[in-house]
Amino acid sequence: MNKKKILITGGAGFIGSHLVKYFVNKYPDYKIINLDNLTYAGNLDNLKDIISKPNYEFIKGDITLSAFINTLFERYKFDGVIHLAAESHVDRSISNPDEFIETNIIGTLNLLNASRECWNDDFSDKLFYQISTDEVYGSLGIDGLFTEETAYDPRSPYSASKASADHLVRAYWHTYKLPIVISNCSNNYGPNQFPEKLIPLAINNIKNNKNIPIYGKGENIRDWLYVKDHVSAIDLVFHKGKKGETYNIGGNNELTNIELIYKLCKVMDNRLGRADGESAKLITFVKDRAGHDLRYAIDSSKIKRELGWSPSLQFEKGIELTVDWYLQNEKWIKNIINRKYEKYYDKQYNIR
């Protein structure tokens, strides 16, 4: 008998697949059900290490379909939900916002309704855990940090849809006492990230001697966290977080985009046996992202103080691990770089 049945949504994506692998291996007495619709960002290759584990099951399905979600909850009677499924790329939200509203808001609503119905007011040992982003807080100037008390001020269709979902999650806590917890994390990087996000896109381009597109002047600042550190924080929040609470998770690794790319180029020169400075010649400044948020930075003192979490890796180490993974997993990336990806790339960048 499994002690707990946990639904992880979006478990074939970047962070979700790391989380699923970690939970399946660390908690053999939990049953982990991974629900993912396998959009362009979902990839079962990410999960090949655990596919035949007895405490793991994959279900292909869409969180926007409420009848399907209700049936799934009736059948499995989950004890916990860790909700990651989302449309997650800001640039795609700018060119096509509607999908973000459907998946990120309606999808979350469907999961909340199904949890409430399934748990039927018996909430002991139940938990709905919403995985959110620091982008809901808006954009910082040069000073200051986002705390859990910072007012929401989302500025892209992506962050607006995530903020809306977070509001719904909190509303279900206040209105129905549905046991919830939310964490808001900064930018993740690491193995298995789809190469539309800055770091894997740049690694792939550098390797293939293609231009590295930097929006505007590369002055925007992000706080980078290695994905496995995010997963260890999720584990803690899921098991020890206080119901109804929010936890900010950050890397303490603030970098401007251009600083980050120079560090990455240095590692790439070293790994590819190129002369110092060779890869950086590929840097190309392109048209800025519309409404580009200047700076995100997280104060993660609450999760440190209350749950004892802090990031284990600094960026310099994490980026080496990431580069090495991409260089050793050429097949993974080759399977992604198809005509659909090329079409997206050409439309987005208009450079080669």
CB of 60 to ligand NAD, least distance (A): 8
C-beta of 111 vs 178, nearer to ligand NAD: 111
41 binds ligand TYD (CB under 6 A): no
Q: Which stretch, 30-38, 46-54, 215-223, 298-306, contacts ligand TYD (CB under 6 A)?
A: 215-223
- Rounded Cα distance, 59 and 61, in Å: 6
Give the residue carrying structure tokens 């939900």: 81
- Helix (H) or strand (E) segment spanning residue 58: strand 56-60
CB of 165 to ligand NAD, least distance (A): 8
- Rounded Cα distance, 129 and 276, in Å: 45
250 binds ligand NAD (CB under 6 A): no
215 binds ligand TYD (CB under 6 A): yes
134 is catalytic: yes
The only residue of 82, 109, 111, 214 in contact with ligand TYD, by rule CB under 6 A? 214
285: exposed, middle or buried (Cβ count in 10 Å: 0-12, 13-18, 19+):
middle
The only residue of 198, 227, 280, 313 in contact with ligand TYD, by rule CB under 6 A? 198
Q: Which residues contact 116 (CB under 8 A, 6 or more apart)?
A: 172, 176, 178
Give the angle 107-111-114 at the CA atoms, nearest 5°.
135
Nearest in space to 169 (alpha carbons), one of 82, 235, 97: 82
158 is catalytic: yes
- Rounded Cα distance, 151 and 56, in Å: 38
Identified catalytic residue from 36, 79, 87, 135 = 135
C-beta of 15 vs 180, nearer to ligand NAD: 15
The only residue of 34, 55, 88, 248 in contact with ligand NAD, by rule CB under 6 A? 88
269: exposed, middle or buried (Cβ count in 10 Å: 0-12, 13-18, 19+):
middle
Contact 14, 193 (CB under 8 A): yes
- Rounded Cα distance, 239 and 231, in Å: 12
| From the list ligand NAD, ligand TYD, none, partner contacted by residue 333 (C-beta under 5 to 8 A by kind) | none
Contact 204, 195 (CB under 8 A): yes
β-sheet bridge partners, residue 57: 33
DSSP string, 250-275: --S-EEEHHHHHHHHHHHHHHHHTPP
The only residue of 201, 249, 280, 282 in contact with ligand TYD, by rule CB under 6 A? 201
101: DSSP letter: I
21 binds ligand NAD (CB under 6 A): no
- Rounded Cα distance, 13 and 56, in Å: 16
The only residue of 183, 257, 279, 300 in contact with ligand TYD, by rule CB under 6 A? 257
311 binds ligand NAD (CB under 6 A): no
CB of 213 to ligand TYD, least distance (A): 4
344 is catalytic: no
The only residue of 172, 194, 247, 296 in contact with ligand NAD, by rule CB under 6 A? 194
Identified catalytic residue from 134, 148, 254, 293 = 134
Residues within the interface to ligand NAD (CB under 6 A): 10, 12-16, 36-39, 41-42, 62-64, 84-88, 103, 107, 131, 133, 162, 185, 187-188, 194
Active site residues: 134-135, 158
Binding site for ligand TYD (CB under 6 A): 90, 187, 197-198, 201, 213-215, 220, 222, 257, 289
